[in-house]
Structure 1
Amino acid sequence: MTDGIVLPPGGGRKLVTEAQEVTFKVTGDSSRTGSLFEVLVPPGFDVGAHVHTRSEEIFYVLEGDLELFAFEPDERTPDDWQQWRGSGGLKPIQAGAGSCMFVPAGCPHAFTNLGDEPARMLFLSAPPPDHERYFEELLEILGVGAADHESVARLREKYDIHQITPLRYAARQTP
């Protein structure tokens, strides 16, 4: 028999950089079906529109406001997904605490924090462990400040993340 996992608030393995904070709650070491993360999304962070061919994802906003979308747009433009529109009037939405987004494999999606305060979300990815390794490597890249687009693009390709619009994040300068 295998024991389960019970974590207190704030529990789990944390990866922290100036650009991002990710707490691994459940990983492929414990689950065959999914990885669960708590992610702090800093102001100005835009994950960029992208697609996974193998992964499904669920995002649940815990605190703050994010702009979210998960649909095939009428036209994929290479720069600004926030202006995308889909059939039946679909468009990105402002999502506050309690909002949930499900992303099936093959569905374009993105999120951004347009506000002045960090947002927190719970993020489930299946199957594990690709997103675990991806987060570890991404935070190494973002830990140096502004996103290095070539490094991010290579990393994303390695982990079945087909980028449509760029990841954007510039570390905020302190006076």
Structure 2
Amino acid sequence: MTSDHGLTGRTTQGPVLTRGGEAETCADPSAVMALFADSAQTGGAFTSYRSAFAEGAPGAPAHVHTRAWEVFFVLGGSLQVLLGEEVTLLHQGDFLAVPPGTPHAFRAAPGSGADVLCVFTPGMDRFDYLRLLGRVTRGEEPPSRLAETSERFDNHYVDSPVWRATLEAPQ
């Protein structure tokens, strides 16, 4: 359902409601993701999900998005994040918006778990990517599948000496 709401040239989708107990979940050994709204449900405006990382969970390696902003809101715990060439910690209540082209990575901060609301805008079929990522993490698909889908999912892995050093540092 679409409506104009009086904004010239702007059409919006109807409301999207996903009840917490009804959200599809994707799980791997280190995280559980609750999938809230994907691109098809929002007319391409955004994709949103919640990631609950176990203590010491690896999160995502260094990567960039060429078309989408990635937004993080920390609901609980702490998230260690690479932003370009700097590493920072996000804590409960912190908000971060990463623009396209910015190398970034994240993981549960050492000694902590992390509960994070994630949003991509514009939206894309991120749920398919998260499902694939779960299969790769569980060993059901080879890691090469992620590289094969980088254009489709706008997820391009990059090398980051800063992030590698962070991961290798004693905790």
Residue correspondence of structure 1 range 1-175 to structure 2 within 5 A: 1=1, 3-32=14-43, 33-42=45-54, 43-71=56-84, 84=85, 91-144=86-139, 149-165=143-159
Unaligned 5+ segments in structure 2 are 3-13, 165-171
Q: Please, what is the CA RMSD of the aligned residues? A: 2.8
CA separation in 2, counterparts of 1:100 and 1:12?
23
Give the structure with the higher percent strand: 2
C-alpha spacing 1:117/1:11, structure 2 compared with 1 (3 Å):
farther
* Matched residue count: 149
Deviation (angstroms), 1:9: 3.9
Q: Provide the secondary structure at the position in 1 that maps to 2:73.
A: strand
TM-score normalised by L of structure 1: 0.72
CA separation in 2, counterparts of 1:150 and 1:9?
33
Q: Which residue of 2 aligns with 1:171?
A: none
Deviation (angstroms), 1:121: 0.3
Percent sequence identity over aligned pairs: 23
Deviation (angstroms), 1:148: 5.5
C-alpha spacing 1:29/1:149, structure 2 compared with 1 (3 Å):
closer
**1:49-71 superposed Cα distances (whole Å, 9 cap, x missing partner):** 11111111101111111111333
Q: Which residue of 2 aligns with 1:75?
A: none
TM-score normalised by L of structure 2: 0.73
Bigger Cα Rg: 2
CA separation in 2, counterparts of 1:117 and 1:38?
17
